[in-house]
Amino acid sequence: MPGSKSLGIHGDVLGISAQGELAMLLDPQSYESGNPSGTLARMRLESGAPRALLEHVFEADWSPRGDRLAAVTKTDTRYRLEYPIGTIRYEGEAWISDIRISPRDDRVAFLFHPNPKDDMGSVAILEGPGPMRELSSGWSSVRGLAWSPSGREIWFTGAHRGAARDLYAVDEGGHLRTLDSIAGGMLLRDVSTEGQALVDHAINRTALYFGSGEGERDLTWSDGSYLTGFSPDGRTVLYAGEDASEGPDYGAYMQTTDGAPPVRLGNGTPIALSPDGLWAAIRLFGPPTTLSLVPTGPGSAHELPLGTLATIFEGRFLPDGRSLLLRGIESRGHFPRLWVHELGDAPPRPITAEGMAPVPAISPRGDRIAGVGTDGVLHLFGIHGEDLGDVPGRFPDHIAVGFNEDGSALYVRTRSVPVRISRIALPSGAVTPHLTLPPGGIRPGLSSIMTLFLSADGRSHAYCANETFSRLYIVEGLK
């Protein structure tokens, strides 16, 4: 009799082996790029419960014979590709996605995204013990990958501008050709041995919301509105806009939360809005990476010296408006650390050891910073990196959002939706629930809430969210 049967397991299916064994992601939690992470397990339908293999896994793929698994994991701030599990083939700050093992089991293909919060990037391959090799680069959005039936090409969906992806093929020599395109773009899910492509025709957007005691307002202006700044008074948002007109560099925008049209400040990704709202720090990835101070009104922009700082992931202005707190790395092979840039002619200086997680919360006077470590402990530091002790209690899978107005408490948030924000009293560590987002429950299509800010008084909030609505299609006749 046709029908379905619940397995009673909270998880996602990552793949099915040639022997019919499932690779599953148990208790997935979504955050940032929308990719869920959890515990990788393998399971035979006839055997009962799944067997856990590896934690902090984002993706996995079976070998052609179904006897080995490849997996993408994240430890601290670094992504790893393991194949087989236990053997590290790639490790770095860049986010990697859509791993697929070749039909002959001699190569691993994947998508390489330099910015962990962005799906711009390239198609890459691992051959033997050597380093990865990029086959096709410069994509403003690239998601979805599979080997062709012959194993001589990699099929993927990507966009040169915006996020409306078409279906392409690239061979090991980097020769690119178009396979198919449809209005609105697509996402490749898989390719059969007969050459049929399973594609997802999706409506994707990174939405921007502002909320206060009066409910939430949708401020989304383009296909993607990536929030990067929020004024202390809750009246202005700063974000990177993505659509077909912007190209791979995006556009930097400022907008008031009353719903007025946004103002385009220039090319690039804005990373911080000054406390007085007069300046925005805008990054261009390059190469090389550049950082500029751009006026939000009349005036001239000027580029800031970066010294040995090669890549900037994110940043915040200090309360005095004369310095920036940045998180970045010096070069490939290094780990991220925090830097202070005093906005003069001198380059930024590091203030912490390598291995720092996202930019922490900054106190109202700019003399303390706070962040949750991978151990779940809420750490306090001086602005020069000196250890000021830990807050009592543990906050696993939480992120520091910000201090309250007088610095007597901190706000922290959970990673997965619904996002729960709590107020942590200092120095006692007493916890008080503050806010749950989105208000009224999870909306259809919502997969994750990414960057989130609170106003200084904690009464207003702004965040960007991944939202997807889609239909699956089988495409035949591809050659």
C-alpha distance from residue 186 to each of 199, 245, 297, 474 (Å): 6, 19, 39, 12
**What tokens were used for 251?**
């556009």
Tell me: do 42 and 151 sit in the same domain. Answer: yes
Residue 216 and residue 209 in contact, taking contact as beta carbons nearer than 8 Å? yes
What confidence score (pLDDT) does residue 345 get?
A: 85
Length reported for the chain: 479
Number of domain units in the chain: 3
Q: With CA atoms as reference, report the closest residue to 101 among 81, 86, 120.
A: 81
Written as six digits, the tokens of 440 are 């009224």
Q: For residue 413, report the phi and psi dihedrals to the nearest 5 degrees.
A: -130, 155
HSE-up of residue 29 (Cα within 13 Å, Cβ side): 13
End-of-domain residue from the set 134, 166, 186: 186
Calpha distance 139→163 (Å, rounded): 9
Q: Tell whether 27 is covered by a domain.
A: yes
- Tell me, yes or no, whether 173 and 38 share the same domain: yes
Residue 326 lies in a domain: no
Q: Which residues of the chain have pLDDT under 70?
A: 1-6, 30-34, 76, 244-245, 247-248, 332, 357
Domain shared by 37 and 179, yes or no: yes
My answer on whether 261 and 132 are in the same domain is no
Domain membership of residue 135 as a residue range: 11-186
Instruction: Clarify whether residues 238 and 182 are in a common domain.
Output: no
475 Cβ partners below 8 Å, 6+ apart? 167, 180, 196, 197, 198, 199
Establish if 398 belongs to a structural domain.
Answer: yes
Q: Is 338 within the bounds of a domain?
A: no
How high is the pLDDT of residue 1?
41
138 and 36 fall within a common domain: yes
Last residue of a domain, one of 121, 155, 186: 186
pLDDT at 355: 75
Tell me whether residue 316 is in a domain: no
Based on the fold, state whether residues 179 and 201 are members of the same structural domain: no
pTM above 0.75, yes or no: no
What backbone torsions phi and psi does residue 297 show, to the nearest 5 degrees? -130, -150
Q: Are residues 141 and 252 in the same domain?
A: no
* Rounded-to-integer distance, Cα 384 and Cα 211, Å: 34
Residue at 35 is within a domain: yes
Residue at 209 is within a domain: yes
Are 430 and 474 part of one and the same domain? no
Q: Are residues 62 and 173 in the same domain?
A: yes
Q: Which candidate, 321, 395, 410, 323, places its Cα nearest to that of 363?
A: 410
Q: What is the pLDDT of residue 148?
A: 96
C-alpha distances (whole Å) from 91 to each of 98, 124, 138, 312 are: 16, 14, 21, 18
Residue-wise pLDDT tens digits, 203-250:
778 899 999 977 899 999 877 899 999 999 999 999 998 876 676 678
Question: How many angstroms separate the CA atoms of 53 and 72, rounded?
Answer: 13
237: CATH = 2.120.10.30
The answer to whether residue 269 is domain-embedded is yes
Is there a single domain that holds both residue 417 and residue 468?
no
Neighbours of 471 (CB within 10 A): 9
Cα separation, 399 vs 422, in Å, equals 10
| Residues 78 and 131 grouped into a single domain | yes
3-class SS of residue 432: strand
Q: Token digits for 198?
A: 């399973």
Three-class SS string for 341-408?
Answer: ECCCCCCCEECCCCCCCCCCEECCCCCEEEEECCCCCEEEEECCCCEEEEECCCCCCEEEEEECCCCC
In sequence order, what E strands does 243-310 have?
251-256, 263-267, 269-273, 279-284, 290-295, 302-304
Distance CA 475, CA 162 (A): 23
Cβ-contact 278, 199 below 8 angstroms: no
Q: Which two tokens stand for residue 72?
A: 């993408």
Alpha helices in 58-200 (DSSP H): none
